[in-house]
Amino acid sequence: MELHTEIAGLAAQLGTILTNNAMTITTAESCTGGGISYALTDTPGSSAYIERCFVTYSNDAKSELLGVAQKTLTEFGAVSEQTVYEMVQGAAAAAQADVAIAVSGVAGPGGGSPEKPVGTVWFGFYLQGKVLCERGYFSGSRAEIREQAIDFSLRKIISLLNA
């Protein structure tokens, strides 16, 4: 798999920030299927700031690996602010990371609903104990939605780290 130049550049930029600040990062990914961690580990030297990442596609995986409460999944669904909040906290704790990104969304082409149409993606960002959640809406094919979510994740965490 070859990364788009822009995503590869963002991953390298994030790696530099993490290295310069002696920070570690982890990911908890659902609809992106490990795409963010792939981008991060495609950068030479990434072992200095990544020890482990999580692809938690199923609700069971979200619960078992990240500690997302079954009640949260039942009440709000996998694609929700509440779920990514718990995902990002669970990933940061499990990896003992300073920084974490969590993603859960509907990449399509099916699986959408009126409340959560295809292209709806929730993001959780963890930065040294603080959590920010944000919803994005993307369009295009499944691959395009996933790529946009990866790009957004990298841009947002870079922005938060540079704030």
Q: How far apart are CA 28 and CA 62, in angstroms?
A: 9
pTM over 0.85, yes/no: yes
Instruction: Express each pLDDT in 33-43 by its tens digit.
Output: 999 999 999 99
Alpha carbons within 13 angstroms on the beta-carbon side of residue 4 total 12
- Given pLDDT bands bounded at 50, 70 and 90, which one contains residue 4? confident
Structural domains in the chain, CATH included, are 5-162 (3.90.950.20)
Burial of 20 from C-beta contacts in 10 A (0-12 / 13-18 / 19+): exposed
Q: Where are the beta strands (DSSP E) in 39-129?
A: 54-55, 99-105, 120-127
Handedness of CA 111, 28, 20, 157 (dihedral sign): positive
Given a cut of 80, whether residue 1 has pLDDT beyond it is no
How many CB atoms lie under 10 A from the CB of residue 30?
Answer: 28
In the structure encoding, which two tokens stand for residue 128, read together? Answer: 């040294």
**Distance of CA 155 to CAs 65, 116, 138, 148, Å?**
26, 23, 15, 10
